[in-house]
Amino acid sequence: MVKVDIFGTYHLDCPKKVEEELRAFSSEADVFFTEAPREEPDKSDWNSLRLRNPTVWVAGKFLNSFWQAGGYLLTRQRDSVDTAVTKKIARERGLQMTPVDETIVRSASDVNPLLTVFSWMWVALTLSVLAFGITLWPKALLVYGVPLPSGFFVSLSVAMGFIPIIPLAYLTLGERNGVIADNIEEFLKGKGKPERGCLIVGHKHIDGVVEDLEESAVDVGETHRPKFLRRSL
Protein backbone atom coordinates (compact mmCIF):
# COMPACT_ATOMS: atom_id res chain seq x y z
CA MET A 1 0.00 0.00 0.00
CA VAL A 2 1.25 3.48 -0.89
CA LYS A 3 2.22 5.62 2.08
CA VAL A 4 1.53 9.35 2.24
CA ASP A 5 3.30 11.48 4.85
CA ILE A 6 1.65 14.73 5.93
CA PHE A 7 3.77 17.82 6.51
CA GLY A 8 1.77 20.52 8.31
CA THR A 9 2.81 24.14 7.86
CA TYR A 10 2.15 27.74 8.69
CA HIS A 11 2.01 29.65 5.43
CA LEU A 12 4.29 32.33 6.87
CA ASP A 13 7.17 31.01 8.94
CA CYS A 14 10.96 31.11 9.05
CA PRO A 15 12.05 29.93 5.55
CA LYS A 16 15.25 28.27 6.74
CA LYS A 17 13.39 26.32 9.43
CA VAL A 18 10.68 25.18 7.03
CA GLU A 19 13.23 24.14 4.41
CA GLU A 20 15.36 22.13 6.83
CA GLU A 21 12.34 20.38 8.30
CA LEU A 22 10.72 19.61 4.92
CA ARG A 23 14.01 18.31 3.46
CA ALA A 24 14.44 15.86 6.34
CA PHE A 25 10.79 14.86 6.51
CA SER A 26 10.31 14.28 2.77
CA SER A 27 13.61 12.55 2.02
CA GLU A 28 11.81 9.40 0.74
CA ALA A 29 9.00 11.15 -1.14
CA ASP A 30 8.40 10.42 -4.82
CA VAL A 31 5.77 13.13 -5.28
CA PHE A 32 4.66 16.30 -3.49
CA PHE A 33 0.96 16.96 -2.96
CA THR A 34 0.17 20.63 -2.36
CA GLU A 35 -2.71 22.69 -0.97
CA ALA A 36 -3.17 24.53 -4.27
CA PRO A 37 -6.52 24.10 -6.07
CA ARG A 38 -6.60 21.23 -8.54
CA GLU A 39 -8.84 23.20 -10.90
CA GLU A 40 -8.35 26.96 -11.16
CA PRO A 41 -11.51 29.10 -11.37
CA ASP A 42 -12.13 30.83 -14.69
CA LYS A 43 -13.22 34.40 -15.38
CA SER A 44 -16.94 33.60 -15.12
CA ASP A 45 -16.38 32.04 -11.68
CA TRP A 46 -14.68 35.20 -10.41
CA ASN A 47 -17.39 37.41 -11.90
CA SER A 48 -20.05 35.32 -10.17
CA LEU A 49 -18.23 35.63 -6.84
CA ARG A 50 -17.87 39.41 -7.16
CA LEU A 51 -21.58 39.72 -7.92
CA ARG A 52 -23.03 37.28 -5.38
CA ASN A 53 -20.57 37.37 -2.49
CA PRO A 54 -18.30 40.41 -2.76
CA THR A 55 -17.12 40.19 0.87
CA VAL A 56 -15.42 36.87 0.14
CA TRP A 57 -13.91 38.26 -3.06
CA VAL A 58 -12.46 41.24 -1.16
CA ALA A 59 -11.29 39.05 1.74
CA GLY A 60 -9.65 36.62 -0.69
CA LYS A 61 -7.76 39.44 -2.38
CA PHE A 62 -6.60 40.75 0.99
CA LEU A 63 -5.51 37.28 2.14
CA ASN A 64 -3.63 36.42 -1.06
CA SER A 65 -1.87 39.79 -0.96
CA PHE A 66 -0.92 39.15 2.68
CA TRP A 67 0.60 35.71 1.98
CA GLN A 68 2.39 36.95 -1.14
CA ALA A 69 3.74 40.12 0.48
CA GLY A 70 4.95 38.23 3.53
CA GLY A 71 6.44 35.49 1.38
CA TYR A 72 8.21 38.03 -0.83
CA LEU A 73 9.77 39.78 2.17
CA LEU A 74 11.08 36.45 3.46
CA THR A 75 11.95 34.57 0.26
CA ARG A 76 11.93 37.18 -2.54
CA GLN A 77 9.26 35.10 -4.29
CA ARG A 78 5.59 35.96 -4.68
CA ASP A 79 4.44 32.84 -2.85
CA SER A 80 3.75 31.92 0.74
CA VAL A 81 6.86 30.64 2.51
CA ASP A 82 5.80 26.98 2.47
CA THR A 83 4.98 27.15 -1.25
CA ALA A 84 8.31 28.77 -2.11
CA VAL A 85 10.24 26.17 -0.10
CA THR A 86 8.27 23.27 -1.62
CA LYS A 87 8.97 24.53 -5.15
CA LYS A 88 12.68 24.84 -4.40
CA ILE A 89 13.02 21.30 -3.05
CA ALA A 90 10.85 19.85 -5.83
CA ARG A 91 13.07 21.48 -8.50
CA GLU A 92 16.25 20.16 -6.89
CA ARG A 93 14.92 16.59 -6.60
CA GLY A 94 12.99 16.56 -9.85
CA LEU A 95 9.73 15.80 -8.04
CA GLN A 96 6.27 16.47 -9.38
CA MET A 97 4.11 18.96 -7.47
CA THR A 98 0.47 17.90 -7.65
CA PRO A 99 -2.28 20.27 -6.42
CA VAL A 100 -5.03 18.38 -4.57
CA ASP A 101 -7.20 21.07 -2.95
CA GLU A 102 -10.43 22.56 -4.29
CA THR A 103 -11.15 26.18 -5.09
CA ILE A 104 -13.77 27.80 -2.86
CA VAL A 105 -14.69 30.37 -5.49
CA ARG A 106 -17.62 28.38 -6.85
CA SER A 107 -18.98 27.22 -3.50
CA ALA A 108 -18.67 30.74 -2.08
CA SER A 109 -20.69 32.04 -5.05
CA ASP A 110 -23.54 29.63 -4.40
CA VAL A 111 -25.35 31.67 -1.73
CA ASN A 112 -28.96 32.71 -1.18
CA PRO A 113 -30.15 36.26 -2.02
CA LEU A 114 -30.26 37.34 1.65
CA LEU A 115 -26.58 36.54 2.10
CA THR A 116 -25.80 38.42 -1.12
CA VAL A 117 -27.58 41.50 0.25
CA PHE A 118 -25.70 41.23 3.55
CA SER A 119 -22.43 40.79 1.65
CA TRP A 120 -22.97 44.00 -0.32
CA MET A 121 -23.96 45.87 2.88
CA TRP A 122 -20.76 44.71 4.58
CA VAL A 123 -18.64 45.86 1.64
CA ALA A 124 -20.38 49.24 1.68
CA LEU A 125 -19.75 49.60 5.41
CA THR A 126 -16.10 48.61 5.01
CA LEU A 127 -15.58 51.15 2.22
CA SER A 128 -17.35 53.82 4.28
CA VAL A 129 -15.01 53.26 7.22
CA LEU A 130 -12.01 53.41 4.87
CA ALA A 131 -13.26 56.62 3.24
CA PHE A 132 -13.91 58.18 6.65
CA GLY A 133 -10.38 57.35 7.77
CA ILE A 134 -8.92 58.93 4.64
CA THR A 135 -11.00 62.12 4.92
CA LEU A 136 -10.10 62.41 8.62
CA TRP A 137 -6.43 62.81 7.77
CA PRO A 138 -4.51 64.61 9.29
CA LYS A 139 -7.02 65.31 12.08
CA ALA A 140 -8.05 63.06 14.97
CA LEU A 141 -11.57 62.28 16.15
CA LEU A 142 -12.24 62.41 19.88
CA VAL A 143 -14.30 59.47 21.16
CA TYR A 144 -14.97 59.58 24.91
CA GLY A 145 -11.97 61.85 25.21
CA VAL A 146 -9.67 59.44 23.37
CA PRO A 147 -8.15 60.70 20.09
CA LEU A 148 -8.63 58.24 17.22
CA PRO A 149 -6.32 59.06 14.28
CA SER A 150 -7.00 58.36 10.64
CA GLY A 151 -4.84 55.25 10.76
CA PHE A 152 -7.21 53.65 13.25
CA PHE A 153 -10.13 53.75 10.83
CA VAL A 154 -8.00 52.62 7.89
CA SER A 155 -6.75 49.66 9.95
CA LEU A 156 -10.32 48.93 11.05
CA SER A 157 -11.48 48.81 7.43
CA VAL A 158 -8.66 46.38 6.56
CA ALA A 159 -9.66 44.16 9.50
CA MET A 160 -13.28 44.28 8.34
CA GLY A 161 -12.12 43.19 4.90
CA PHE A 162 -10.40 40.14 6.40
CA ILE A 163 -13.19 39.09 8.77
CA PRO A 164 -15.46 37.21 6.29
CA ILE A 165 -12.71 34.75 5.38
CA ILE A 166 -12.61 33.36 8.95
CA PRO A 167 -16.08 31.73 9.10
CA LEU A 168 -15.74 30.64 5.46
CA ALA A 169 -12.45 28.87 6.21
CA TYR A 170 -13.96 26.94 9.10
CA LEU A 171 -17.21 26.14 7.28
CA THR A 172 -15.36 24.70 4.28
CA LEU A 173 -12.56 22.97 6.23
CA GLY A 174 -14.24 19.55 6.43
CA GLU A 175 -15.27 19.61 2.78
CA ARG A 176 -11.78 20.56 1.65
CA ASN A 177 -10.22 17.80 3.78
CA GLY A 178 -12.40 15.26 2.00
CA VAL A 179 -11.55 16.67 -1.43
CA ILE A 180 -7.81 16.61 -0.65
CA ALA A 181 -8.00 12.96 0.44
CA ASP A 182 -10.09 11.96 -2.58
CA ASN A 183 -7.74 13.70 -5.03
CA ILE A 184 -4.69 12.02 -3.49
CA GLU A 185 -6.34 8.62 -3.75
CA GLU A 186 -7.37 9.27 -7.36
CA PHE A 187 -3.87 10.39 -8.31
CA LEU A 188 -2.22 7.33 -6.77
CA LYS A 189 -4.57 4.97 -8.57
CA GLY A 190 -3.64 6.41 -11.96
CA LYS A 191 0.10 7.04 -11.71
CA GLY A 192 1.69 3.63 -11.34
CA LYS A 193 1.62 3.78 -7.54
CA PRO A 194 4.71 5.70 -6.39
CA GLU A 195 6.14 4.25 -3.20
CA ARG A 196 5.69 7.36 -1.04
CA GLY A 197 4.04 10.74 -1.30
CA CYS A 198 4.26 13.84 0.88
CA LEU A 199 1.35 16.22 1.38
CA ILE A 200 2.33 19.78 2.31
CA VAL A 201 -0.74 21.36 3.87
CA GLY A 202 -1.84 23.99 6.41
CA HIS A 203 -1.70 22.62 9.95
CA LYS A 204 -5.46 23.01 10.45
CA HIS A 205 -6.04 20.31 7.84
CA ILE A 206 -3.88 17.60 9.41
CA ASP A 207 -6.40 15.75 11.59
CA GLY A 208 -9.22 15.88 9.03
CA VAL A 209 -7.07 14.72 6.13
CA VAL A 210 -5.58 11.89 8.21
CA GLU A 211 -9.07 10.71 9.14
CA ASP A 212 -10.31 10.84 5.53
CA LEU A 213 -7.21 9.12 4.14
CA GLU A 214 -7.48 6.31 6.68
CA GLU A 215 -10.93 5.54 5.28
CA SER A 216 -9.47 5.16 1.77
CA ALA A 217 -6.93 2.82 0.23
CA VAL A 218 -4.09 5.18 1.17
CA ASP A 219 -1.83 4.38 4.10
CA VAL A 220 -0.95 7.41 6.24
CA GLY A 221 2.73 7.45 7.14
CA GLU A 222 4.39 10.08 9.33
CA THR A 223 2.83 13.41 10.29
CA HIS A 224 4.66 16.65 10.98
CA ARG A 225 2.98 19.10 13.35
CA PRO A 226 4.67 22.50 13.02
CA LYS A 227 5.59 24.94 15.76
CA PHE A 228 5.44 28.56 14.65
CA LEU A 229 8.96 30.05 14.48
CA ARG A 230 10.27 27.09 16.51
CA ARG A 231 11.92 23.95 15.28
CA SER A 232 9.70 20.89 15.28
CA LEU A 233 12.18 18.12 14.45
Query: What is the mean pLDDT of the segment spanning 154-171?
Result: 88
pLDDT at position 230, please?
A: 85
Query: What is the mean pLDDT of the segment spanning 182-199?
Result: 85
User: What's the CA gap between 144 and 141, in Å, rounded?
Assistant: 10
HSE toward the beta carbon, residue 195, CA cutoff 13 A = 5
- CB-CB contact of 15 with 74 (8 Å): yes
**Reported confidence tier of residue 191, pLDDT bands at 50, 70, 90:** low
User: Which amino acid is located at 185 in the chain?
Assistant: E
**Reported confidence tier of residue 61, pLDDT bands at 50, 70, 90:** confident
**Reported confidence tier of residue 92, pLDDT bands at 50, 70, 90:** very high
Pairing mode, strands 31-37 and 196-202: parallel
Name every residue whose Cβ is closer than 8 Å to that of residue 137 and which is 6 or more positions away in sequence: 150
Name every residue whose Cβ is closer than 8 Å to that of residue 115 and which is 6 or more positions away in sequence: 53
The whole model's pTM is what? 0.87
User: What's the CA gap between 56 and 165, in Å, rounded?
Assistant: 6
- Domain locations along the chain: 3-224
pLDDT at position 193, please?
A: 67
Is cis: bond before 194, omega within 30 of 0? no
* pLDDT surpasses 90 at 221: yes
Sheet of strand 3-9: strand arrangement: 96-101, 31-37, 196-202, 3-9, 219-224
pLDDT at position 144, please?
A: 64
